[in-house]
Structure 1
Amino acid sequence: MPSEWAKQDWLWIGFPHDPVEWPEVLPRAQEQIAAFANAVAESGQDVRLLVRDAANEARARQLTTAAVTLERRTYGDVWLRDTGPLVVRGADGARRAMRFGFNGWGGKFEMEGDQTIGAEIAADAGLEVQTADWILEGGAIDNDGTGTVVTTEQCLLNPNRNPQLTRSQIEARLQRDLGFTRVVWLGQGLLNDHTDGHVDNLARFVGPNRIAIPRATMADDPNRAIYDDARQRAAEAGLDVIEMPSPGLVSAGEFAEPASYMNFTITTHLVAVPVFGTPQDGAAIELLQSLFPDRRVVGLPADAVLAGGGGFHCASQQMPSAAD
């Protein structure tokens, strides 16, 4: 499986459509996802924005530039990182789409189309589709392109996913299905993350053997201990750890949202970072720009997207090119 910074042919993005899943924030969530799609398209990379029906296609067309391609599809929610295809590449550059079982993040949110959208868009892209015999969401893993993958025990060892599989059996399947030769296990994911601790909200590779993990920057940060444990585990695994700022406490009433700058999306020319209007936004963008000097790094408001349960990385899936 190529790293995310490998050259991409296009980016799939899901467009929010369901007012039940996005109570009170649907229009703003649509605007924020559209701004994300526009930014990637304007950077020079193709974008395929999935829309659910005619009304949502019209709404998306109002919000996006002509550079964004709209595709009408049947899908439940926008989180294509988890329901879309994971594309692997052979030594000759030949690409194949891997699909895994999907059970609505442990049975929490089971919606029409989420089981089938990954295979559908992969087949329409001309990819051979192979289905694995276990449950895995794309947001549960992050890789550096050299065979190393990082994940969390909270998610991949959760009994609501693959209770029949041991840790070693999961490692063997990660190698068999995606080519990973080394698994780095972190512990817990962010507080109140309904995905049961997806790693793409906690720790992200920014180069071979180089990983970015937040450090708490405010006294009331609800994830301080989680960040500290993740950095320690990554360092003990021999990874070069880059400390990112955390947005701190981002709350909706008394509920601590799983807000994270780590849910950034790497595209061929651009890195799109979710921002939340906190004092740390600028520092996060500046640090990521230093880590990706060959790409433009932009911060885009993502509070409404977060209210739906994720970020820009969660809502997108890349199509790697046949060669870097």
Structure 2
Amino acid sequence: MTLTNKTHRLLPEWHPQDGLQLTWPRADGDWAPMLSRIEATLEQIVIATARYQRVLISAPDEATVIRLAATFEAAGVPKHQLLLIAAPTDDTWARDHGPITVMDAHNQPLMLDYTFTGWGGKFPAAYDNQLTQWLADAGVWACPVVKRETVLEGGAIETDGEGTLLTTEACLLNPNRNPTLSRADIEALLADDLGVDRVLWLAHGHLEGDDTDSHIDTLARFCNPSTIAYVRCDDPSDPHYPALKAMEQELKAFRQRNGEPYRLIALPWPHACFDPEDGHRLPATYANFLVINGAVLVPTYGDPADMAALKALAEAFPEHALIPIECVSVIRQHGSLHCLTMQLPKGTLAPALTES
């Protein structure tokens, strides 16, 4: 299937959705020492999301499918809001191994199945890289799927839905992803695949403990075409302070298409979180929120800044309900709420799977 320039439009997260994709952890995977804790967090996400839309869960085996069906039935999740399917996977990070959806030349959804390499070969990813096609073969998707050899993760890109893309140099220009591609090559690819005609590159910003090489969804997010929420560090003694202050200045310098500055909403800086076993710093960030139909799920960390983050995002999403999801366990594996999920826009789930 050939991709043609200027025929696609990358959908923003607030576009109406059929459902939400999750990948359940394997009992023998990286989550093994704290499996019950991460499952409890995922259960919170499912129960909250099922009030608004379907949830697609790829589980590692049929036994897990049966167990989860019983768990969510007992929790009162309507059966028609849940789709469970057994599929081989490596890990839980659906944001980065899930499909990226665009609208095609006929205004129909099209899934782009980019290559996932475990963030530049850091972790095993062979099964996760095949998951989108596995689900296609199982009849889950209602729209075409196009395999792309380019390495690109969903957490690395943010769009306003109008042709502007926000990303970081540290990730998209990292030689551990697409070493033969220059900045110009990547911009051309983004134009061809995603219909992007403006790329806003952040040269600064990172979180200690982050395995993704500065995914944008840990740092700054579009809330609507004119508003960006971003993490701000107000503690000059924190090692993050210089880079995040420089990132803030970059965001202030960005302009909308009409020449106006963006409305910037600063998200608070939580107290430093450290791994209880070896003491390394964990990437706690409120920018890793999730937009679904009618609600925004917000990661919380049992921190005094949690309420300030909810208040800030309420300003960004005044027509959405705000739902806190405790994510202390999630950051132990160096991701957070948004990283665990991938939204499935309208028209992407097979009709039989979307009927109530």
Q: Give the deviation of 1:57 after TM superposition.
A: 2.3
Q: Give the deviation of 1:307 after TM superposition.
A: 1.2
Give the alignment partner of residue 257 of structure 1, picking from 278, 282, 303.
282
**Paired position in structure 2 for 1:108:** 122
TM-score (norm. length: structure 1):
0.93
Give the alignment partner of residue 65 of structure 2, picking from 57, 61, 65.
57
Is 1:135 aligned to residue 151 of structure 2?
Answer: yes
**Paired position in structure 2 for 1:169:** 185
Q: Give the deviation of 1:221 after TM superposition.
A: 3.9
TM-score (norm. length: structure 2):
0.85
Is 1:74 aligned to residue 99 of structure 2?
Answer: no
1:229-280 CA distances to partner (integer Å, 9 max, x unpaired)?
A: 2221122122332211122311114211011111111001211111111110
Q: Give the deviation of 1:129 after TM superposition.
A: 1.4
**Paired position in structure 1 for 2:297:** 272
Q: Would the aligned equivalents of 2:209 and 2:334 in 1 still touch at CA under 8 Å?
A: no
1:212-243 CA distances to partner (integer Å, 9 max, x unpaired)?
A: 11112456544222321222112212233221
Is 1:14 aligned to residue 28 of structure 2?
Answer: no
Task: Classify the secondary structure of the residue corresponding to 1:247.
Answer: coil
1:67-126 CA distances to partner (integer Å, 9 max, x unpaired)?
A: 333222222111111111111113543111111122111111113411111233356312
Identity of aligned residues (%): 35
Q: Would the aligned equivalents of 1:184 and 1:234 in 2 still touch at CA under 8 Å?
A: no
- Give 1:26-45 correspondences, 5 Å limit: 26-42=35-51, 44-45=52-53
* Distance across 2 between alignment mates of 1:25 and 1:219: 34
RMSD (CA atoms) = 1.9
* Distance across 2 between alignment mates of 1:286 and 1:19: 39
* Distance across 1 between alignment mates of 2:186 and 2:85: 34
* Distance across 2 between alignment mates of 1:266 and 1:237: 23
**Paired position in structure 2 for 1:247:** 270
Q: Give the deviation of 1:191 after TM superposition.
A: 1.8
1:151-175 CA distances to partner (integer Å, 9 max, x unpaired)?
A: 1111111111111011111011011
Task: Classify the secondary structure of the residue corresponding to 1:114.
Answer: helix
Structure 2 gaps, min length 5: 1-9, 256-261, 349-356
**Paired position in structure 2 for 1:307:** 332
Is 1:285 aligned to residue 299 of structure 2?
Answer: no
Task: Classify the secondary structure of the residue corresponding to 2:120.
Answer: helix
* Distance across 2 between alignment mates of 1:184 and 1:284: 24
Task: Classify the secondary structure of the residue corresponding to 2:63.
Answer: helix
1:17-69 CA distances to partner (integer Å, 9 max, x unpaired)?
A: 24440142111001101111110102x21111221113322443354343333
**Paired position in structure 1 for 2:218:** 201
Q: Give the deviation of 1:176 after TM superposition.
A: 0.6
Q: Would the aligned equivalents of 1:265 and 1:273 in 2 still touch at CA under 8 Å?
A: yes
Equivalent residue pairs, number: 322
* Distance across 2 between alignment mates of 1:121 and 1:32: 24
Change (3 A) 1:112 1:134: closer
Task: Classify the secondary structure of the residue corresponding to 2:338.
Answer: coil
* Distance across 1 between alignment mates of 2:331 and 2:70: 22
Structure 1 gaps, min length 5: none
* Distance across 2 between alignment mates of 1:23 and 1:307: 12
Is 1:321 aligned to residue 346 of structure 2?
Answer: yes
* Distance across 2 between alignment mates of 1:282 and 1:301: 12
**Paired position in structure 2 for 1:216:** 233
1:271-323 CA distances to partner (integer Å, 9 max, x unpaired)?
A: 11111111100110111112112111111111112212312211111111159
- Structure with the greater alpha carbon radius of gyration: 2
Higher mean C-alpha deviation, range 228-237 or range 212-221: 212-221
Task: Classify the secondary structure of the residue corresponding to 1:225.
Answer: helix
Is 1:231 aligned to residue 248 of structure 2?
Answer: yes
Is 1:185 aligned to residue 193 of structure 2?
Answer: no
Q: Would the aligned equivalents of 2:58 and 2:84 in 1 still touch at CA under 8 Å?
A: yes
